[in-house]
Amino acid sequence: MSDYSLPNPGTIEAVVSDEPRGTLLETLHEWVITVDHKRLGILYILYSTFFLLVAGAEALFIRIQLAFPHNHFLSAQVYNRFFTMHGTTMVFLVGMPFLFGFGNYVVPLQIGARDMAFPRLNAFSFWLTAFGGLLLYYSFLGGGGLYGVGNAPDVGWFAYAPLTARSFSPGHATDYWALALIVSGFGTFGTAINIIATVVSMRCKGMTLMRMPLFTWLMLVVSMLTLVTITPLTAAQFMLLIDRYLGGHFFDTQAGGSSLIWIHFFWIFGHPEVYVLVLPAFAIANEIIPVFSRKAIFGYPAMVAASVGIMFVSLSVWAHHMFTVGMTSTSNAFFTLSTMLVGVPTGIKIFNWIATLWGGRIRFTTPMLFCIGFLFQFLIAGLTGIMLSVSPWDWQLHNSYFVIAHFHYVLVGAVVFCIFAALYFWYPKATGRLMNETLGKWHFWLFLIGFHITFDTMHFLGLLGMPRSIYTYQPDRGWNFLNLVVSLGGMVQGVAVLIFAYNFIASLFQGEIAGDDPWDAWTLEWTTSSPPPVYNFEEPPEVHSRRPLWDLKHPDDPDWEYEA
Amino acid sequence: MVNEQNLEQGNGELIEIPAGTAWPIILAFGAMLCFASLVTSIGVGLVGALLTGCGIVGWFKQVFPHEHHAFVPVVRRRFVPASSRRTVAHIQVSEVHRAYLPVESYPMVAGLRGGIAGGIVMIFPALLYGYLTQHSIWYAVNLLGGAGVAHWTNPSTADIAAFHWNGLIVATVIHAAVCSLIGLLYGAMLPMWPKRPILLGGLIAPLLWTGLLHSILGFVNPAFNARIAWGWFALSEILFGIVAGIVVTRTGKIRTHQALPFVLRMGIEAKEFNPPKGNQP
Amino acid sequence: MSTVSTRLPVRAAEWHLPYKGRVGMSALIAGESAIFTIFVVAYVFYLGKSVTGPRPSDVLEVPIIGTICLLSSSLTIWRAERAIEDDRMGSFTAWLGATIVLAITFLIGTASEWKKLIYQDGLTISTNLFGTTFYSLVGLHATHVVIGLALLSSAFLFSLFGRVDSRQSERFGAVALYWHFVDGVWVVVFSVVYLIGR
């Protein structure tokens, strides 16, 4: 930012202003060269919305294939590619970009900054993520397989060795997987650095750490976790590429290498990654629940401590994905106990949210509905998580649909619900118009019903012994009816998401004008106009409490009188 | 917040923001092409390397020696903070709630100390039991330690009565851990019933604990369960509790956090309980 | 709204935040440490697991000169840092130049070591597990040295042409932090590869 004194007015390079819109090309050019955190945030969100639709369509294809026994709607090869790409896309191209998109858009506004700490790095990170995603999907066309046809990765999203070795996965599909994720991983790494530097160094006057909005706090925690989470994956993928291109032996069991170490490395990334995805969901709930309960968040310090606690505990639980590889009973006991320990800080959070709701004047708007759905579903997801953390139970149900149901409860029931809540919540800030509430409620209820039809049923399929990643199944297993139900639930969710997509686009033109502060909220982003000007705030704001806008709205009863 | 006095002034004022630049996207595209060349062709890599080089140089020029800025004119606006709900309600916490909570209790450490003391005293009836019934003081030790020695399957009585050093170690660890944990739990429970620590520790807790163990010991440690003498067990538990209770009563009481209002301890606000402002930094 | 300003807490504390470049660089270092940890763990895990030779004790020689050079470069860059803070630009350029010379000496040492290993001992990255883990760990570190060298050289060139002054000291501080990290990693890599693993 302003490292040096202002140059004299004669040297001003370009004056960007809100003149009438230029041609399409000019607008496009502005968006491509932008370093503005708000535009990049919007780009992130549009990008991940696009991939949400793509990966959602892949999921529907998977479900159509599994709706009936002995179905041949997809070929087995295409089926493998689809579940690999569904998982990879949802985690790397939907989940993380969405959450970093919100972080990008909201964090500088909440801390009263003009932009991110490193605006150019921010643009660079976004484009790396975006090009990484495109490279991954280019594999459908360019990943020359055995027969010279396009071939997407088909090794599962965790790409276990030795399946990924040259001899078992010829062609370039697996390389596309590794390369695309390395590229987008660097992008994620850059964004994480940027958010940390922004939160630490760009806060406005008076915004001490214990006055930061909880959304910002959790984005800081998530970014710190991301730093040590995405990098092990990048390192392991470099090892994989060394094996595949230079003839290395990291995961080559013939030469003394170990496939087990890949599993360790992957889950050292993979488990904290779950928290990278779910902590921003907590962050969103932390903003939305108090606003629509008309109460300050209950137990702010406990929330901060719990988030930091989750960050540390989540680094020591990865091997609960590996109970079936045959570890010593000491390791099993350690990872069982450390996994159960995660339940403590998350339990604190759930109680705090409930206590925030308690006695509040709750307004059931669409964002609030999604957050309440999140509360219930996250509770169930946490409980099945504790069931699975018990290693003997996991031995029975590992790689079954029970596990699939559990993590979809986390990733859809918690993360996607909160993402939708955040989209409804901050849409008026970004566009100046509110999304349609009626359509929003349709979206919520259909999505909720579809979600429960799909994923509640999946638990039973898992208990009945249906393993994950299977192409099809025999009709005499007793899974037919439940599978059909799961697939139908998936369709209901698909319809709900289409309603959302229509609402998202239509509200841009027909939505009700929002005004600066449509939700009667309390953080700094609602003090500026909707959409905010390119410089965010005319004057750098100064805050005296956790709810600066509350202080302004209630000058007779400001918050800083209560906060130590 | 927005400084009200300055709102009307400064029309035509400019704010500097980072200038837009195409170099990051070029660098990102170049880097992606470099990686993509591994799965496509060397030509792609060359283009990628070229773009990467241009991107680095261009970016460097953007930020060195001075970061480029664009200037945007400020559009002055007035933000009027308005809330549709003007009335503020505060959680009412009546003082009557507080009358039933102890404002003075024993410190948690007292429970821990009691647990340790009780654990030491408890050893004697256990050893006595082993000596009287099996003529071996190691009998009780091995019954407990066997829980930790996983390969002990169906041991004979003579086996259990003999000395096993790993049985002794495991038993010591289990005994020490359980006694201090129970002591800690006892300390945590003390505020619930602070007036009668010996009754709580010496009678109620041992009976509950014995009952709990009686119902689950069959799953936890079948060998132990088959041989345990519940009378002796309850006796040592009660001895443990009485000793722990005595140790606790000899410790002085302290004022608990209960003296502070609940809302304050939980970090939320309430109009009635403004913290004393005087001693804050 | 005039009532607002009358009811503000009286607290005119100084508002000072850390320099963003330093924070960003620390974050980068935290992430890089995770990458190195994974490679070091892989190296240690595969120690002695090679099916065929050569083994580390057969071929590795302790690179004493390179290590001394790299470690002392931390000292010289620290002197350069102090010089730029005090605006002694001549001294800055000299210490920076010394750092670069030391770094290049280290890289030459690594290159000659690799040359010996490849042509004399026949150890390549695909020979055995030792080769795979050794070249990737040491190579990863060398890559970081090269990147640091590029940063330092550009700073050196600019200071030769007098384009650097004490106003850049915070930025240079971030670069120096990175260089200290590269040195610190070498201590770990050196102990794991040449002391423990040999």
Q: How confident is the model at residue B265 (pLDDT cuts 50, 70, 90)?
A: low
- What's the pLDDT band for B51 if we cut at 50, 70, 90? very high
Number of cross-chain residue pairs from B and C with Cβ atoms under 8 Å apart: 12
Q: Is A126 exposed, middle or buried (0-12, 13-18, 19+ CB in 10 A)?
A: buried
Instruction: Measure in Å the smallest separation between the Cα of B79 and chain A Cα atoms.
Output: 7
Q: Which residue has the higher pLDDT, B155 or A20?
A: B155
Per residue in A441-489, pLDDT tens?
999 999 999 999 999 999 999 999 999 999 999 999 899 999 999 999 9
Q: Which of these ranges, A129-143, B108-122, B158-172, has the smallest mean pLDDT?
A: B158-172
Residue B274's pLDDT is what?
47
Give the one of C27, C33, C52 whose C-beta lies nearest to A193's C-beta.
C27
Q: Name A62's Cβ contacts closer than 8 Å, sequence gap at least 6.
A: A74, A79, A82, A83, A86
Between chain A and chain B, the number of residue pairs with CB atoms below 8 A apart is 174
Among A71-75, A101-105, B42-46, B211-215, the minimum mean pLDDT is found in: B211-215
The C-alpha of B88 sits at a distance from chain C's nearest C-alpha, in angstroms, of 17
Largest CA distance in chain B: 100
Band (pLDDT 50/70/90 cuts) for residue A167 is confident
For tokens 């009585």, the residue is B157
pLDDT > 60? residue A17: no
pLDDT for C92-117, tens place per residue? 999 999 999 999 999 999 999 999 99
Is A249 in contact with C38 (Cβ distance < 8 A)?
no
Taking an 8 Å cut-off on Cβ atoms, the answer to whether A197 and C27 are in contact is: yes
In this prediction, residue A150 carries a pLDDT of 57
Cβ proximity of A527 and A456 under 8 Å: no
DSSP conformational letter for C144: H
pLDDT of residue B3: 39
CB contact burial C145-160 (16+ within 10 A = b; e otherwise): beebbebbeebbeebe
Q: What is the pLDDT of residue A143?
A: 63
Euclidean distance between CA atoms A93 and A48, whole angstroms: 6
Quick one: pLDDT at residue B174? 84
pLDDT at B108: 79
pLDDT at C80 over 90: yes
> Could you give the count of Cα atoms lying within 13 Å of A68 in the half-sphere of its Cβ?
5
Quick one: average pLDDT of A379-391?
A: 92
- Kindly state the average pLDDT of the residues C116-128: 92
Residue of chain B minimizing CA distance to C11:
B281
The gap between the terminal CA atoms of chain B, to the nearest Å, is 23
- Interface test with chain B among C1, C157, C161, by most B beta carbons within 10 Å: C1
pLDDT score of B259: 60
B60 and C154 within 8 Å at the Cβ level: the answer is yes
Q: What is the pLDDT of residue C12?
A: 56
Residue with tokens 């409930």: A354
A268: chain C residues, CB-CB within 8 Å: 38
pLDDT beyond 60 at B148: no
Rounded Cα distance between B195 and C144, Å, is: 67
| A394 interface with B at CB cutoff 8 Å | no
Chain B closest CA to A544's CA: distance in Å?
A: 9
Whether residues A520 and B274 touch (CB distance < 8 A) is answered with no
CA distance C96 to C76: 7
Contact of A251 with A242, CB cutoff 8 Å:
no
Q: Which chain C residues are within 8 Å of A242, Cβ to Cβ?
A: 125, 132, 136
Q: What mean pLDDT is predicted for residues B152-165?
A: 72
With beta carbons under 8 A apart, name residues in chain A contacting B86.
Answer: 554
Q: Quick one: tokens of C143? A: 């890559």
3-state secondary structure of A68: coil
Shared domain for B114 and B192, answered yes or no, is: yes
Contacts of B25 in chain A (CB under 8 A): 32-33, 123-124, 127
Residue that wins the pLDDT comparison between A395 and A22: A395
Confidence of residue B6 (pLDDT cuts 50, 70, 90): very low
Q: List residues bridging with C19 in a β-sheet.
A: none
- Residues of chain C contacting residue B280, judged by C-beta atoms under 8 Å apart: none
- For residue B48, the enclosing domain spans 12-73
Three-state SS letters, chain B: CCCHHHCCCCCCCEEEEECCCCHHHHHHHHHHHHHHCCCCCHHHHHHHHHHHHHHHHHHHHHHCCCCCEEEEECCCCCCCCCCCCCCCCCCCCCHHHHHHCCCEECCHHHHHHHHHHHHHHHHHHHHHHHHHHHCCCHHHHHHHHCCCCCCCCCCCHHHHHCCCHHHHHHHHHHHHHHHHHHHHHHHHHHHHCCCCHHHHHHHHHHHHHHHHHHHHHHHHCHHHHHHCCHHHHHHHHHHHHHHHHHHHHHCCCEECHHHCCHHHHCCCCCHHHCCCCCCCC
CA A455 to chain centre: 19
Band (pLDDT 50/70/90 cuts) for residue C6 is very low
Residues B159 and B136: their CA atoms lie apart, in Å, by 11
> Given an 8 Å threshold on Cβ–Cβ distance, is B4 in contact with C154?
no
The CB density around residue C174, as the number of other CB atoms within 10 Å, is 19
CB proximity B123 to A under 8 Å? no
List the structure tokens of A552: 């302004």
pLDDT at A28 over 50: yes
Give the pLDDT confidence score for residue B266 in this predicted structure.
Answer: 62
Q: Is B216 on the interface with A (CB under 8 A)?
A: no
Q: What is the DSSP string of A324-361?
A: GG---HHHHHHHHHHHHHHHHHHHHHHHHHHHHHTT--
Total domain count, chain B: 2
In the block, tokens 């090269």 appear at: C146
* C128-139: average pLDDT: 94
Q: Would residue A2 count as lying in a domain?
A: no
Residue A253 per-residue DSSP state: G
Q: Is residue A121 part of a domain?
A: yes
Over residues A523-533, mean pLDDT: 91
B67 reaches C (C-beta below 8 A): no
Q: How confident is the model at residue A246 (pLDDT cuts 50, 70, 90)?
A: very high
A427 domain residue, yes or no: yes
Of A128-142, A242-256, A267-281, B217-231, least confident by mean pLDDT is: B217-231
Contact B4 C5 (CB under 8 A): yes
CATH number of the domain where residue A293 is located = 1.20.210.10
Do B65 and B116 belong to one domain?
no
Do B21 and A35 lie within an 8 Å CB cutoff?
A: yes
Q: Which residues from chain C sit within 8 angstroms of residue A527, using beta carbons?
A: none
* Candidate from B1, B65, B80 with C-beta closest to C163: B65
Q: Which chains touch C (3 or more CB pairs under 8 A)?
A: A, B
When scoring A186, A238, A239, A249 by the number of chain C Cβ atoms within 10 A, the one with the most, hence best to mutate, is A249
| pLDDT, tens only, A298-327 | 889 999 999 999 999 999 999 999 999 988
* B138 in a structural domain: yes
pLDDT at A333: 85
Other CB atoms within a 10 A radius of the CB of residue B194 amount to: 17
What is the pLDDT, as a whole number, of residue C166?
82
* Cβ separation C51–A255 shorter than 8 A: yes
The residue range of the domain holding A251 is 9-561
> Does domain C20-196 fall into CATH 1.20.120.80?
yes
In the predicted structure, residue A4 carries a pLDDT above the cut 50: no
Q: B96 pLDDT exceeds 70? A: no
* Facing A15 at nearest CB: one of B62, B71, B269: B71
Read off the pLDDT of each residue in C43-52 and give the average, rounded to a whole number.
Answer: 91
Tell whether the model's pLDDT for residue C152 goes beyond 90: yes
* Average pLDDT estimate for A169-191: 92
Q: Does the N-terminal peptide bond of residue A555 adopt cis geometry, omega within 30 degrees of 0?
A: no
Cα of C160 to nearest chain B Cα, Å: 14
- Within-domain flag for A4: no
- The Cα A358–Cα C148 span in angstroms is 55
Q: What pLDDT does A213 receive?
A: 94
Question: Number of structural domains, chain A?
Answer: 1
Task: List CB contacts (< 8 A) between B1 and chain C.
Answer: 4
Give the per-residue pLDDT at B89: 80
Question: Choosing among C1, C7, C49, C167, which should be mutated to test the A contact, i.e. which has the most A CBs within 10 A?
Answer: C7
Please identify which residue in the block is written with the tokens 């459908």.
A140
Average of pLDDT values for A322-337?
A: 87
The better pLDDT of the pair B213, A108 is held by: A108
> A390-399, B122-131, C91-100 — which one is most confidently predicted on average?
C91-100
The answer to whether B4 contacts C4, with C-beta atoms less than 8 Å apart, is yes
Position with higher pLDDT, C20 vs B149: C20
Contact call for A249 and C132, based on CB within 8 A: yes
B163 and B38 part of one domain: no
Nearest to C27 among A196, A246, A256 (CB): A196
**For residue B256, what pLDDT is reported?**
63
Span C111-127, average pLDDT? 93
On average, the pLDDT of chain C sits at 90
A85 touches A58 (CB < 8 A): yes
Among the residue ranges A425-434, B160-169, B262-271, C158-167, the one predicted with the least confidence is B262-271
**B113 and B19, same domain (yes or no):** no
Q: What gap in Å lies between CA A484 and CA A68, rounded to an integer? A: 7
The reported pLDDT for the residue numbered B220 is 67
pLDDT at B29 over 60: yes
Q: Is the pLDDT of residue B98 over 60?
A: no
Domain assignment of residue B269, yes or no: no
Q: Is the pLDDT of residue B103 over 50?
A: yes
Q: How far apart are CA B102 and CA A318, in angstroms?
A: 43
List the single residue in A123, A543, A551 with the smallest CB-CB distance to B25.
Answer: A123
Which residues touch A564 (CB under 8 Å, ≥6 apart)?
B275, B280
Report long-range pairs for B81-88 (Cβ below 8 Å, ≥24 apart).
B81/A517, B81/A527, B81/A549, B81/A552, B81/A553, B82/A517, B82/A553, B83/A520, B83/A553, B83/A554, B84/A520, B85/A294, B85/A361, B85/A520, B86/A554, B88/A554, B88/A557
Chain A neighbors of B24, CB-CB under 8 A: 35, 120-121, 123-124, 127
